[in-house]
Amino acid sequence: MPFRLLLRNLFGHPLRAILTVGSVTIAVFLLCILIAVSRGLDATVAQASSTRLWVQSSVSLFVSLPNKYASKIEATPGVEDVVRFQWFGGVFQDPSNFFAQFAVDPAKWKVSYPEIELIEGSMEDWQKSRTNCVIGEDLASRFGWKVGDRVPLIGTIFPRLDGSNWEFDVAAIYRSNSLSIDQMTMFFDFQYLRESQEQGAVGGPDGVGVFLTRLAPGSAADDIIAAIETEYENGPQAVRVTTEAEFQRQFITMLGSVPTLLASIGGGVLFAIFFAVLNTMLMAARERTRDIGILKALGFGNGKIGGMLIIESLLICSTGGAVGVFLAKSAERPLWSVISSQIPGFEISSTVLTLGLSLAVGLGILAGIAPALRARNLQPVAALRLGA
């Protein structure tokens, strides 16, 4: 194999080579991100707890349930505990600073989520004051917040009637060890919200958004779902009870057919880059028609000549693929901080990186086959005449 000739050909048009490598880099980077997002959506559902159920209005997730439902749900055989969850929807300074906030029952919330640990502060610190809150590690990093900081929020769903901001004090920071739970959320005491409403200081809907229901060990989820739904089938408001996996799937469904869309985009990117690399290699093969004729006249076989073209294509695509997976892995943490609240399972794993690099290698081999076959069919005399 004439490696010196291979290197000369590879760097004979440096700008074209750089642009082709750059195209493959961008394609592999995008493919890794798209694959990671698709897998993240699946992981968010797959790692959902089997010991937690969610009780919501049968009409809509946005319709509140009566607060008194908590005691009856908790009395259902097989139910260990019930946690009130209320979406708060506050705004920090500007709507672009969106992050999730929930009013919950602090002690019950912590017991119901063994996947969560407080890395700063404690439950005792949180429960010292109604205005205290717990925030995720990534949320703290995003805004530079630390324990003891005050976070003012503008109430949108629950506006303060005097026009002032809600005030929250960061008492603890949590970390999640599950891909189904993000680290971009604020949790505060449900009683802070309820008491403010009872005092007439706050507007907004009364009641509870959803009830998280923690099951006792050994309980049958299907039986409990049927019991709770039957209890309220005639009102005052009917409920729908789902497993946590199904509850997570609802949010994914709200986004539409995301996996299909991502697959379509990824396929389009791969298709376009394949023809870009193929065109580059065909141009290179045509430019080397005379060289191919000389090599054949000197006794080089079709296998070696075709092999050079395939290896050249493989080197271009592999280089672009390697840079692409490196950039994708480097972007993992910044991207996680942005999309983890919607896709907590997002992760650019070694499997994703291997798949991205494998696609680049396969692309290089396929794009090199066509010029290799063209070179194989060239006769030495015809090649010298065409290259003259």
Question: What's the pLDDT at 7?
Answer: 62
154-179 pLDDT tens trace = 999 999 999 899 999 999 999 988 87
pLDDT at 187 over 70: yes
**Structure tokens given for 24:** 């493959």
Cβ distance 266 to 273 under 8 Å? no
pTM above 0.85, yes or no: no
Q: How confident is the model at residue 65 (pLDDT cuts 50, 70, 90)?
A: very high
Least confident of 60-74, 109-123, 251-265: 251-265
Residue with more model confidence, 191 or 34: 191
Question: What's the pLDDT at 379?
Answer: 64
30-47 pLDDT tens trace = 888 888 888 877 776 766
